[in-house]
Amino acid sequence: MRSLLSDDFAVVGMARKAGKDACVRRCDLSSQQEIEEAYSDIIQSYGAPSFLVNCAGVYHAKGWDVITVDEFDSSYSVNIRAPFLLSRLFARSFPSDGRKGAIVNVASISGQIGSIDPAYASSKAGLIMLTRTLARSFAEDNLAIRVNAVAPGPIEGTAMGDRIPHERMKSYREKIPMKRFATTNEVANAVKFLLGDEASYITGAVLNVDGGLV
């Protein structure tokens, strides 16, 4: 995602482990304090961003009778609370210099059709409704920030895709009309489209990247 977006955007990331990359700010997205500190650092170093992509996600792949309360809470804090906090920081610091901004939230078709993991499915459904709500509120408040979501089906070659139980992946593949999973580039291309000017009249939308599954 980052490398594809870097063709058109100057990308600054937030990650639990920053590593050696100067353009990645260390941040545990389950902590409100760390989010606020990291965002403030980014503004000081680079200025207020024009675009925000909420991509981090937590999937425990645990069913209703085994998932713990801590796991449930960690899904909600990263999958929905962090995108809300970051969207609010983004909107509050958005410059009134005539520029146009956009937020893209990476949801999931699990937020539309469910998942074995109740925390993942319900938090992604919440992220879709957060997208619609902020899209309307920002437009009504005359903020030049569009808010959209992409909802991928299973993505091949990702750590999260590997956590989806094998039997479920098999059944997904049989049900997907295009008979294959998404690539990371196909998801990143949808994000890039929604960030760009070609999507200038699109806000509050959920773009499924799922080979026709939903």
Ligand X SMILES: NC(=O)c1ccc[n+]([C@@H]2O[C@H](COP(=O)([O-])OP(=O)(O)OC[C@H]3O[C@@H](n4cnc5c(N)ncnc54)[C@H](OP(=O)(O)O)[C@@H]3O)[C@@H](O)[C@H]2O)c1
* 11: nearest Cα among 52, 69, 40: 52
DSSP state of 196: S
What is the closest distance, in whole angstroms, from the C-beta atom of residue 141 to ligand X in the complex?
27
**What DSSP element (H or E) covers 33?**
helix 32-46
Side chain identity at 75, as an amino acid letter? Answer: S
Binding segment for ligand X (CB under 6 A), chosen from 65-73, 136-144, 150-158, 197-205, is: 150-158
120 is catalytic: yes
Interaction of residue 55 with ligand X, rule CB under 6 A: yes
Residue of the chain from 3, 6, 8, 16 that contacts ligand X (CB under 6 A): 16
CB 87 within 8 A of CB 203: no
Catalytic entry in 39, 46, 76, 120: 120
Instruction: Tell me which residues in 94-123 interact with ligand X (CB under 6 A).
Output: 106, 108
d(CA 128, CA 113): 12
Interaction of residue 5 with ligand X, rule CB under 6 A: no
What is the closest distance, in whole angstroms, from the C-beta atom of residue 96 to ligand X in the complex?
30
H-assigned helices in 82-204: 82-92, 110-113, 118-140, 159-163, 166-175, 184-195
Binding segment for ligand X (CB under 6 A), chosen from 13-21, 64-72, 169-177, 198-206, is: 13-21
Contact residues toward ligand X (CB under 6 A) are 15-17, 28-30, 55-59, 78, 106, 108, 152, 154-155, 158-161
